[in-house]
Amino acid sequence: MSMPTSDDQALRSLARDWWEIHRDGGALNSPTPSDEDELFTLMDWVNETDNRVDELGADPGTLPVILRYLVEEIPPGEDVSFIGTWVIENSEMAIGSRAVQAVRESDLPREMVAELLSGVASVRWKRDAQP
């Protein structure tokens, strides 16, 4: 059994933080702290986490890597397509169609790719349906 590397541990921690922020009942879905310092600390953490995930998602080489960690760290009751809704959509804004291409060409299991991309399709459908 191999020991996890510091990169592995950092990416796993980043994925856990991302879910702690975005999961149902997570930091973005919880009451806002009334203390100003707590609010700023929370928002700094949210911004740093989202920026790091977006940075990894903006590179076709690292997008599949962060997706794998996000899927591995998914909390019970959450849907894999939710990752596509957030992460792949943001990646597409940064690198266009190369985002979906990177996911399709990755070594991620085909079922996982389909679930991830279903989140992107859901966002497109909702966006296109708006007047």
pLDDT in tens, 50-96: 999 999 999 999 999 999 999 999 988 888 888 888 899 899 999 99
CB 117 within 8 A of CB 82: no
Residue 118 corresponds to which tokens in the numbers above?
A: 């279903």
Shortest CA distance to 64 belongs to which of 97, 99, 96? 99
Q: Which residue would you say has higher pLDDT here, 25 or 1? A: 25
Q: How confident is the model at residue 4 (pLDDT cuts 50, 70, 90)?
A: low
- 130 pLDDT exceeds 60? no
pLDDT category, 122, cuts 50, 70, 90? low
The answer to whether 104 and 73 are in contact (CB under 8 A) is no
Q: Is the dihedral of CA 15, 57, 104, 81 positive or negative?
A: positive
Q: What is the rounded CA–CA span in Å between residue 60 and residue 96? A: 10
| Neighbour-count burial of 32, counting CB atoms closer than 10 A to its CB (0-12 exposed, 13-18 middle, 19+ buried) | exposed
The angle at the Cα of 76, spanning 74 to 77, to the nearest 5 degrees, equals 105
Q: So what's the pLDDT on residue 1? A: 44
